[in-house]
Structure 1
Amino acid sequence: MKKLILIFISTVLPLVSTFAVHTGRVYVDANKNGVYDKGEKLLKNVMVSDGLNVVVTAVDGTFELPGHAKERFVFITTPSGYKTDNAHYRAISDKNKSYDFGLDVLTGKIDADGSHNFVHIADTEIHNSVDMERWANNIRDYVADEKTAFIMHTGDICYENGLKAHIGLMNTSNMNCPVFYSIGNHDLVKGKYGEELFESIYGPVYFSFEAGNVHYVVTPMAGGDYKPGYTKEDVYRWLKNDLAHVNKNTPVIVFNHDLLSYDDKFIFGINDTEYVDLNEHNLKAWLYGHWHINFVRRQGNVLAISTANLDKGGIDHSTSAYRIVSVDKKGDVKTQLRYTYINNSIQIASIGNERASINANGKVPVSVNTYSAVSPARSVSYTCTIDDKKQAGDVALTQNTDWNWSGELQLPSSAKNRRVFVEAKVIFNNGEIAKTSESFIYQPDGKHSVKTNQDWLTLLNNSSRMGISADTLSLPLNLNWITNIKANLFFSSPIVYNNTVYVGSVDEKLSGEGGVYALDAVTGKLLWKYNTRNSVKNSIACGNGTIYAQDAEGYLYAIDAESGKLSWEKKLGINGLPALVDGLTVDNGTVFAGTGKGFAAYNAENGNEIWKNNGWGQGEGTTSTPTLGSDVVVSGSQWRGLYGNDAKTGKLLWQHTSYGLSSRGASPAIHGGLFYIISGESLFIMDVKTGAIVSRKELKVSVDVTSTPLVTDKLIVFGSVDNGLIALDRETLEQKWNVPTLPALIYTAPYTRFPVTTIETSPVLAGSTIFFGASDGILYGVNVNTGKVEWKHATGAPVFSTVAISGNTLFVTDFGGNVYGFSSVDKF
């Protein structure tokens, strides 16, 4: 009997916990002195954790946790309507006998029904940066004026310097709003374990909090630059315990530095039997960064939301922006981007150079592009005067996009041949006001006609990307029409076919704005729209009466040019991330689309696959468009390489993964057996068939832009990140002239910050004039011989699309959603 008792003791005792029990209370710190005082409200049912175990506070606000082997913190799930200025966590220490959490009431941030907004930012990477207060103040000012429940940073603060500095830049106290951080791969740094420094500044790497009716969960990056002390099992066991206290009908939103799943299932676990199916926990959204891209897609019932960098251009040239996320009482999510650095910008886009167009109804279009980083526009109006006499006062315009508002101006017949002044005024939500004015000579009988000639079927007119128009335009150009399609327009340049202009639009919030639009080339009237599943971020093309486009999710569409009806579609074999940003091209009945191992040639008539690339993999977000010459298709992938595939068989003929050619946004221009391409800080001239580098010109300026070189008999001309438009002598490669531009309105070139003067577009030659748009919102006409600016038109929104020219008309778009038709004045 004694022997049996001894055996029993020896088997049971090791199961008894030897860890210290952690106790404390959660209360409302009414006098904000940091300690509990008698009479202060005690909070029940607040979740408290030690990183494994999760309990809830009793009626008297107290809790008791058993502790565990890897414990480092006691932390709470901050309940909705409260904030913790002195942190939602306490480091576990032998010196601490109790872990009390005093909360402040968070007022005016969440609606009565639980609806609320929050700010999402990612990948600020401030380890080697200066002047960070500029964008931080953008968020601070936005939060001060708009209802914001909290700010979430989803990682890559970056290395030791960044981790130490960022908390002073943004915290709950100085933002006057709860601020939470998750850990990214570059936040795992040298120490006893990868997250040691992060924890010492920002606390636990996984935790939860609540706002409105939503349970928010913050999870850590699985790995990174240094091995973390936590494991996937640690996170899983805590997550399981955390969600065990959450009603399965409660909406759940998860934050992580990266995306958990590329399909409809969001399962987090360690094996086939131990896992959490987040879909069964009413998962509404998964927000992440890591890829430096703006990309939203629906995966089953879950909205997967990637936000790029708010302080710099994204890897795939995504706009510098932070994201506003709106959550309704059911936990359903809508989002919108807010672009940084822009201070109360306003421009009348429809009037310039003392000219204005006239609509078919005889009215003058008034189109205004306006934006502020810190506050949405509340209203935009215009006032019209002639000879100091008001013709119209404070006429309200209608909002089309986040940038553009428009309406019409009716002038009396007595205004003919007289100067008309139009003043536009915007009132932002924060009460600030901005104004601008333009004037023109009213000539109602001077309506000009658009006369298209040769079709412009692809980016830069042909699959070799030569960018030289057969038609000549004489300056100055007259704005014949302007149409807003009610969606943002990015790198998708206009194409012209059969007197119709086609453009592709982006949808960075997944609200149904992505698609292909057809407009009458003569009047600008919208003829049809075909909705794509996601953004069309780059070039579209036309062949045999069909418009081809690919969206960010990797779907290829063939759309009848006349009717706008789908002829066929194909899901391309690309990875779930990064988003597809490459352009496509059509040549001799073949569509070249996709990227990486999903780059392929398709029969343009029926979509049947002709060949598929097996020679190179997908990059980090490529913005180039396939270019053809000498039976070779030249393409590439960001951060990987530049490649030449046999256009007929798909066989990889050559590749370059070094020499500065692995990271570039531009497409090449092919002339004869050579192609010209800019990359990094160099211009390359290369052999199409072999890929051999014939010549390399180091430029000493960054050309990581999407600008394809224009090659004439004497010059090589291209855009740059911060040195405007550059023209080199074709023989000597020495600079001939340079056209500076103004600072960009939005920053897109990778890792570029305020202020830079970026040109993402490709120059196009028509007669003796080179036309290009810039990120400063201006369309330029430059003399090809001298580089002198001879004409320009300010749009007030970045111009990311390369122009198209047909007959007597130039077509171009701006980011605000405007499509323009400019015609030569003396050709009517």
Structure 2
Amino acid sequence: MKKLYLTLFVACSLQTGVAQGFRGRVFTDTNADGQLNNQEKGLAGVPVSDGLHVTITDANGNYQLPGHTRTRFIFMTTPAGYRYTSSFYIRADSSLPAFNFGVQPVARANNAVAKFVRLADTETYQFNNWITDAREYARNENADFMIHTGDICYEKGMAFHAQYINTRTMGVPVYYCIGNHDLVKGPYGEALYESLFGPVFYSFDAGPAHFIVTPMRYGDYQPSYTVDDVVKWLKNDLANTAPGKPVIVFNHDLLTYDTLFTIRSKTDSINLNEHHLKAWIYGHWHINFAREHGSSGIRSICAAPPPDGGIDNSASNFDVIGIDKNGISFVQRRYTYVHDQLVPVSPAATGVAFDGDKMVISVNAYNTSSPVTNVLFSLFDKKGNLVKQLPLQPRTDWNLFAATAIPAAWMNGVYTATLEATLGTGRVLFRRDTFTLAKSTPVKISKPSSDWPEALQNIQRTGITGITTAGALHLHWTANLGGNIWKSSPICAAGKIFTGTIDDEGNHHSSITALDAQTGKQLWQFPTGNSIKHSISYHNGLLLATDAEGVTYTLDAATGQLRWKHTGDHNNLPAYNSGGAVYNNMYYTGAGNYLQALDINTGQVKWTNHDWTGGEGTPAAMAIHDGRLITSSNWNHLFAHNAATGKLQWKRADEGIRFRSGTPAFFDNLLYVYGINKLHILDPATGKTTDSIPVTEDLKTMTAPLVTNNYIITCTAAGGMIAFNKKSKKEQWRFVPGEALFYSAPYSSPSSATIESTPLLVGNRLITGASDGYVYVIDLNTGKMISRFNTGAPVFADMAVYNGMLYVADFSGNVNAFSL
């Protein structure tokens, strides 16, 4: 037995290189065959590591490393301006005489900026168009590399990615991080990952920056590496990095929500703030979220998955990030699966918007793999003569805009407009539409309608309007707010429309904006620190909203001036994206242990929840009835609190209720709420189920149930809208819109006909916005479509009706007003 132990020890020593050390050369691989020949020259100044020690190649590209007891790979820090030709790592095989790394100069390398494509939490072993989108974008836009920040995932997912998403197939260097679901059964948690993707921590250079990949600390199976291993290697790696070089770290999770990025082990630590850390890029949460960490100069960016919707209904995407000498220079989300989208909002057959005497030209155009660089608008009279031509200016990543004077003699004539959208590849999209050039007739208001101060008009979230009928939708005006609109419903009061925009990239595009309800003219805009994900609330001349970092803003609705601001107790993930509510002069906002009731006039905290915490962020809005506050946390519970005191009254997590995307709603003193595959009707006092309806489709949309005299209307993640008979609970009809332009409901993917905007009841009609970009008018009794309007971008926000007009906010940042 002693002899066997000795044999194993010697074998392990040889395998890890402790006995012999490691040597090799980094060389310019002129023929790209990965093999060093006599004509190929060495490259000086390249760091090479054995997983602990780091050395630098000499003038001839040679290096030597001592190895250590757990050396599994020798890997180089690929230098900026070069790409590896075979691999950046070699397994530590004692039979190899040398460990040589070939590199080639990158054509058109930009030393001032590094641009890369980031994938997160793909969790799939099925090929789909998102892979093509990412590959084509990287090639079209000359990305320096692509990186996956973990949860690849499990055995099937890792094998699939290794085969289909690699440097050869994607056309750019592809790097991977290890996530918690990539630590799987084996000799040790990362064994399969290493066999497919190499070391779990390493570094490379691109442009002006130094990029470091660090591993997940924990996972489904125990890793063999420790935090101490990572810290020791990091110290050596950064000791061989040029001082002042921006450092970007990739990891599957966020290290800290605070400003101090210190990695600590039991025996050691390293403060990355002292090493010019500029960004921490992570995944894990399946959300789109970005923030600046105080005045540290460090930004962190999370992304939802590219194949499907995020856990909190974030849009499917990969993000594109640019790094210059100062850190992050730009961030762009590329929403997956969108191909050749080119839709005129105005002018169109369904209406022409005007700003005074100027015709508004508003176009929604998008293409995932090659961005739209410009759009040319041309106007022809009925004889085919070109009478006007002008380029459009971008307002958001979806919308382009212009306004042009129209002679009075042209009015009421029939014209043809063409759009030519040029992509970054040079390919041109073309569209032709014919319309009547006429202003919309002003809506006559015999009696002003009630305010629309909350999403779905009231805190019971009923969605029932006072309008008696609706037919074809006719565009009255359109206005773009300069940022994307996610779930922020138009709020209507005092002759104004209010809504909020998101900025999931950290590009300072988030705001609260006021528009004139009759004309769409912008009255004021207030910038917010982070995204206004959900709806805002109006009460007695005040607007109240909470951003994704838990900061509440109270504005004067007439002027946009800040009355007070409250920074809640939000100091960790997930980001905040629920809808708050006003009741009895208190504003309810936050979640978990930062769920609070605030005095609407002063911002004073009336109570803070201490009864529950945890779960994920939910896009559901709070609902209030009879002094009872209903709120939730995704993957946790539905909760009922006493609105006056904050005391928890009951909670439910069973029968799929813990999956919280949808807003609860009160009808006839009953609470209607979605589980993942069941509609529940609850007693609000006890939380007990009084009735339920099984639903074959996933109910993971951000909608609330709509209850009418005869029907219960539900919206699904993949199967459109379903009407159930209120008495029998049987399905009466189903309306299926087109396939979503991109995907938002958790884990929804092609082909999903998703509705994220709660239907409104208008007489015997339903009006709903869908993820295919259309607003539909549907017959309540049959489910048949009466009319539709193409907004050209997904509609997630709940709509509003005010003074005879329908207001629809879409993802492009447009607020559209329709006469009913």
* Match for residue 290 of structure 1 among 278, 284, 293: 284
Letter in 2 for 1:813: A
Name 1:440's counterpart in structure 2.
435
Q: Do residues 197 (structure 1) and 195 (structure 2) align?
A: no
- Provide the rounded CA distance (Å) in 2 between the counterparts of 1:395 and 1:798: 27
Structure 1: which 5+ residue stretches go unaligned?
Answer: 1-16
Q: Do residues 74 (structure 1) and 68 (structure 2) align?
A: no
- Provide the rounded CA distance (Å) in 2 between the counterparts of 1:414 and 1:515: 39
State the secondary structure of the residue aligned to 2:168: helix
Name 2:239's counterpart in structure 1.
244
How do 1:305-704 and structure 2 match up within 5 A?
Answer: 305-360=301-356, 362-444=357-439, 446-448=441-443, 452-704=448-700
Report if the CA contact (8 A) 1:628-1:634 is conserved. Answer: yes
Name 1:152's counterpart in structure 2.
147
Deviation at 1:607, TM superposition (A): 1.2
Report if the CA contact (8 A) 1:460-1:802 is conserved. Answer: yes
Name 1:123's counterpart in structure 2.
121
Name 1:36's counterpart in structure 2.
36
Residues 284-338 of structure 1: per-residue CA shift (max 9 Å, x gap) = 1000000001111001210101111011100011100000101124434320100
- Provide the rounded CA distance (Å) in 2 between the counterparts of 1:196 and 1:788: 56
Name 1:280's counterpart in structure 2.
274
What is the aligned length?
A: 801
Report if the CA contact (8 A) 2:553-2:565 is conserved. Answer: yes
Name 1:207's counterpart in structure 2.
202
Which deviates further from its counterpart, 518-527 or 28-37?
28-37
Name 2:27's counterpart in structure 1.
27
* Match for residue 178 of structure 2 among 166, 176, 183: 183
Flag the 1:450–1:88 CA change in 2: closer, same or farther, 3 A: farther
Residues 124-157 of structure 1: per-residue CA shift (max 9 Å, x gap) = 1114xx233x111111111221121110111110
Name 1:88's counterpart in structure 2.
88
Flag the 1:71–1:78 CA change in 2: closer, same or farther, 3 A: same
Name 1:3's counterpart in structure 2.
none
- Provide the rounded CA distance (Å) in 2 between the counterparts of 1:444 and 1:815: 25
Deviation at 1:278, TM superposition (A): 0.6
State the secondary structure of the residue aligned to 2:385: strand
- Provide the rounded CA distance (Å) in 2 between the counterparts of 1:641 and 1:515: 31
Flag the 1:281–1:445 CA change in 2: closer, same or farther, 3 A: closer
Deviation at 1:596, TM superposition (A): 1.1
Residues 469-497 of structure 1: per-residue CA shift (max 9 Å, x gap) = 12345423321111011110000100001
Report if the CA contact (8 A) 2:718-2:748 is conserved. Answer: no
Letter in 1 for 2:384: K
- Provide the rounded CA distance (Å) in 2 between the counterparts of 1:497 and 1:440: 33
Report if the CA contact (8 A) 2:353-2:439 is conserved. Answer: no
Report if the CA contact (8 A) 1:120-1:153 is conserved. Answer: yes
Report if the CA contact (8 A) 1:645-1:652 is conserved. Answer: yes
Report if the CA contact (8 A) 1:297-1:304 is conserved. Answer: yes
State the secondary structure of the residue aligned to 2:26: strand
Structure 2: which 5+ residue stretches go unaligned?
Answer: 1-16
Residues 636-669 of structure 1: per-residue CA shift (max 9 Å, x gap) = 1000111111111111111111111000211111
* Match for residue 229 of structure 1 among 224, 227, 232: 224
Name 2:5's counterpart in structure 1.
none
Which deviates further from its counterpart, 534-543 or 572-581?
572-581
- Provide the rounded CA distance (Å) in 1 between the counterparts of 2:382 and 2:673: 53
Deviation at 1:679, TM superposition (A): 2.2
Name 1:104's counterpart in structure 2.
104
State the secondary structure of the residue aligned to 2:587: strand
Which deviates further from its counterpart, 252-261 or 575-584?
575-584
State the secondary structure of the residue aligned to 1:144: helix
- Provide the rounded CA distance (Å) in 2 between the counterparts of 1:521 and 1:424: 29
Deviation at 1:391, TM superposition (A): 3.9
Flag the 1:410–1:478 CA change in 2: closer, same or farther, 3 A: same
Which deviates further from its counterpart, 618-627 or 541-550?
618-627
- Provide the rounded CA distance (Å) in 2 between the counterparts of 1:474 and 1:290: 44
- Provide the rounded CA distance (Å) in 2 between the counterparts of 1:100 and 1:354: 65
Name 2:48's counterpart in structure 1.
48
Flag the 1:387–1:93 CA change in 2: closer, same or farther, 3 A: same
- Provide the rounded CA distance (Å) in 1 between the counterparts of 2:739 and 2:802: 30
Report if the CA contact (8 A) 1:471-1:806 is conserved. Answer: no
Name 1:8's counterpart in structure 2.
none
Report if the CA contact (8 A) 1:348-1:437 is conserved. Answer: no
Deviation at 1:434, TM superposition (A): 1.4
- Provide the rounded CA distance (Å) in 2 between the counterparts of 1:182 and 1:292: 15
State the secondary structure of the residue aligned to 2:156: helix
- Provide the rounded CA distance (Å) in 1 between the counterparts of 2:124 and 2:315: 18
Report if the CA contact (8 A) 2:465-2:801 is conserved. Answer: yes
- Provide the rounded CA distance (Å) in 2 between the counterparts of 1:384 and 1:450: 34
- Provide the rounded CA distance (Å) in 1 between the counterparts of 2:711 and 2:252: 45
Name 2:733's counterpart in structure 1.
737
Deviation at 1:355, TM superposition (A): 2.6
Name 1:7's counterpart in structure 2.
none
Q: Do residues 812 (structure 1) and 808 (structure 2) align?
A: yes
Deviation at 1:255, TM superposition (A): 0.4
Letter in 1 for 2:804: N
Residues 31-50 of structure 1: per-residue CA shift (max 9 Å, x gap) = 22322112312111110110
Deviation at 1:586, TM superposition (A): 0.7
Name 1:171's counterpart in structure 2.
166
State the secondary structure of the residue aligned to 2:33: coil
* Match for residue 752 of structure 1 among 748, 752, 759: 748
Which deviates further from its counterpart, 574-583 or 290-299?
574-583
Deviation at 1:743, TM superposition (A): 0.5
Residues 168-198 of structure 1: per-residue CA shift (max 9 Å, x gap) = 2111122221110010000000011000000
Moved over 6 A (4+): none
Flag the 1:444–1:659 CA change in 2: closer, same or farther, 3 A: closer
Name 2:132's counterpart in structure 1.
137
Letter in 2 for 1:675: L
Q: Do residues 63 (structure 1) and 57 (structure 2) align?
A: no
Flag the 1:18–1:463 CA change in 2: closer, same or farther, 3 A: closer
Report if the CA contact (8 A) 2:34-2:85 is conserved. Answer: no
Letter in 1 for 2:204: F
Identity percentage over the alignment?
37
Deviation at 1:789, TM superposition (A): 1.5
State the secondary structure of the residue aligned to 2:192: helix
State the secondary structure of the residue aligned to 1:460: coil
- Provide the rounded CA distance (Å) in 1 between the counterparts of 2:440 and 2:743: 41
Query: CA RMSD, aligned part only?
Result: 1.6
Name 1:5's counterpart in structure 2.
none
- Provide the rounded CA distance (Å) in 1 between the counterparts of 2:630 and 2:675: 14
Report if the CA contact (8 A) 1:420-1:441 is conserved. Answer: yes
State the secondary structure of the residue aligned to 2:525: strand
Letter in 1 for 2:20: A
